[in-house]
Amino acid sequence: MLNSKVHSILVILILFLIWEIFFHLLNLKWYLLPPPSMIVSSIFDNAHLLFISLLTTLEIAIFALILSVIISTGFSIIFYFSKFVETTLTPITVILQVTPIIAIAPLISIWVDSSEIATLICAFLVAFFPLLANTIAGLKSTEKNHLELVSLYGANKYQVLRFVVIPNALPYFLSGLKISSGLALIGAIVGEFVIGPISGHSGLAYRIIESGYQLDIPKMFGAVFLISLSGIMLFNIVRLISYLVLRKWHSSYQQID
Amino acid sequence: MGLRILSEKERQKNIDEKRSALIAQLKGVSKKFKSAKSESLHNINLEVYQEDFLSILGSSGCGKTTILKMMCGLIKSTEGKINWPTSNFQNSSENPANLSFVFQEPNLLPWMNVYDNIKLPLKIYKENSYKADEEIYDIIKLVGLKGFEEYYPRQLSGGMSMRVSIARALVTQPKVLLMDEPFSALDETRRFDLSQEILKIKKEKNLTVVYVTHSIYESVFLSNRIYVMQPNPGKIFEEFDFSNQEKPEDYRFTPQFFEQTKIVSDSLKRAQNAK
């Protein structure tokens, strides 16, 4: 496990090295494709600016994620109890899902004054659906045998939920959360691209636009690099949570020894 | 007196004589599932007496499990009545502590360890008055799971999981244990060991057991009464009673055992072809 991680980091480093070598060998223009060394030094040169932007983007992505967790769990439990609500509301969630966020973002920016909240809404709309769909699938996939077992002992609705349905849905919820963590970041970036800089301290998307205006390509690469980095970070945090919650009993963490 | 087939008259006489020991009685119970074209069970008449080890023997798909599930209220019968004269619940699980069910598979909750799985019925049944840990540990010891309390179901073998399932059924101190082919997935040795233990536990706790099985050997070895079922639709074909017979220690290896196995086996064969 650890070994394969070391390997993949090594491969990335080698790719960077090849990139660096080819840049010098082929005499490429730095303003078209800057070498990794230049990107890294640009990140350090603009450290303060980029760091604040990173925080802004992360903040929006994480807030959107938390919001999707709360709302999708709430909705899926309501859906679980009421078939009527589910059949009525599902088409609406699907419509929201299939309409590209880029198409809705301008509308949101018209309706909502604060660009920060508008971006947050974009990120939320993108992150919400996979989480909802997965959690509902999880709640519905409860084994009939398990339900019979608890009803045999006269469990009430709340006990059925607590002892059987929710634990059973957890792995589904967590794999939804993995997808949503990436999507929340995408939503936060796309939202800012369309809606414009977040007032006060712009996010990373605006840094990319800004670097484009200034023809500061190394900084642009730096911003992109930081976006990937924060995506990886978010994903790994969710993976860690998922590991801590499921490692003892779920088959995906089966120890082979 | 060995094993014998009861005639309808003898059956009626039995009911009259042992009325006070009658624990459960199915009267003309039929079941037709909504999705099915015809009845799955037709006119089942069946009595369970106190401290019986009653086997319901039949081929797969003849409705054995449905009978058990109707007895504990998981499935509603379409016709007929299920009476529990000595207890205050009627055709439902209003008094779950009196009755426990052992499923065909261990049916453990994978997210709970052995201890929590066993404790589950108590958590549901009397949410606020948890039984003393000691009593739970006693049961864990009884089924031979000591030292495995912290294990999760995925770490257990089939036989161990079944033991957990039995412990969970026993934890509510039931009077009646309904078992649905509990050992069908185990190998011969395990099955024999666990059958032996079930007999021991039954004796120790004065349990009444209703045991559904397709194994002729198991039913003859374990029970004092056997109902042989015929399929399509499920009906009681014949009833055997060998309550009056002492089973020696090594019963399984006596000529008597083989003889009786043959009688029951013949009955099951005839049941397959019966109309």
In this prediction the ipTM stands at 0.86
Dihedral (CA of B195, B199, B205, B209) sign: positive
- The pLDDT tens digits for A100-155 are 989 999 999 999 989 999 999 999 999 999 999 999 999 999 999 999 999 888 88
Return the pLDDT at B130: 57
| Residue A13 pLDDT exceeds 90 | yes
- Please tell me the distance in Å from B101's CA to the nearest CA on chain A: 8
B110 CB near a chain A CB, below 8 Å?
yes
Return the pLDDT at B194: 87
Phi, psi for A31 (deg, rounded to 5): -80, -5
Return the pLDDT at B17: 82
Q: Closest partner residue to A150 among B113, B124, B152, by Cβ?
A: B124
| Helical axes A204-214 vs A166-195, angle rounded to 10° | 30
Mutate to test the interface with A, among B76, B100, B109 (most CBs of A within 10 A): B109
CA B127/CA A221 separation, integer angstroms: 59
What secondary structure letter does DSSP report for B175? S
> What average pLDDT does the structure give for chain A?
91
Q: Closest partner residue to A154 among B93, B103, B107, by Cβ?
A: B93
Return the pLDDT at A43: 94
A257 CB near a chain B CB, below 8 Å?
no
| B94 vs A contacts (CB less than 8 Å) | 154
Return the pLDDT at A256: 53
CA A82/CA A73 separation, integer angstroms: 14
B88 CB near a chain A CB, below 8 Å?
no
Return the pLDDT at B94: 52
- Cβ contacts of B35-40, under 8 Å, gap ≥ 24: B38/B233, B39/B78, B39/B233, B40/B66, B40/B233, B40/B234
Strand B41-49 to strand B22-31: parallel, antiparallel, or no bridges (unpaired)? Answer: antiparallel
Cβ <8 Å between B111 and A154 = no
The residue-averaged pLDDT of A34-49 equals: 94
- Please tell me the distance in Å from A143's CA to the nearest CA on chain B: 10
Return the pLDDT at B91: 43
Cβ <8 Å between A154 and B96 = yes
Q: Where are the alpha helices (DSSP H) in B32-150?
A: 64-71, 114-125, 133-142
- Please tell me the distance in Å from A71's CA to the nearest CA on chain B: 25
B172 CB near a chain A CB, below 8 Å?
yes
The residue of chain B nearest to residue A165, with distances taken between CA atoms, is B109
Cβ <8 Å between B109 and A163 = yes
B123 CB near a chain A CB, below 8 Å?
yes
A71 CB near a chain B CB, below 8 Å?
no
Which has more pLDDT, A1 or A168?
Answer: A168
Residue pairs spanning A and B at CB distance below 8 A: 60
Cβ <8 Å between A167 and B111 = yes
CA A152/CA A109 separation, integer angstroms: 54
What token pair was written down for B35? 């999705």
B28: left (phi over 0), alpha (psi -120 to 50) or beta: left
Q: Closest partner residue to B121 among A153, A168, A254, by Cβ?
A: A153
CA A191/CA A205 separation, integer angstroms: 9
pLDDT less than 50: residues of chain B: 1, 90-93, 96
Return the pLDDT at A59: 94
Which of A1-15, A227-241, B25-39, B81-95 has maximum average pLDDT? Answer: A227-241
Return the pLDDT at B1: 43
Return the pLDDT at A54: 94
B126 CB near a chain A CB, below 8 Å?
no
CB atoms within 10 A of CB A229: 11
Q: What pTM, to 2 d.p., does this model score?
A: 0.86
| B182 vs A contacts (CB less than 8 Å) | none
| B180 vs A contacts (CB less than 8 Å) | none
CB atoms within 10 A of CB B128: 5
Dihedral (CA of A243, A248, A253, A256) sign: positive
The residue among B33, B41, B48, B2 whose CA lies nearest residue B211 is B48
B107 CB near a chain A CB, below 8 Å?
yes
Q: Do residues B167 and B130 touch, judged by C-beta distance below 8 A?
A: no
Q: Where are the alpha helices (DSSP H) in chain A?
A: 2-26, 36-45, 47-81, 83-98, 101-111, 115-140, 144-152, 157-160, 166-195, 204-214, 217-246
The residue among A166, A144, A168, A145 whose CA lies nearest residue A157 is A166
CA A213/CA A208 separation, integer angstroms: 9
Q: Do residues B78 and B30 touch, judged by C-beta distance below 8 A?
A: yes
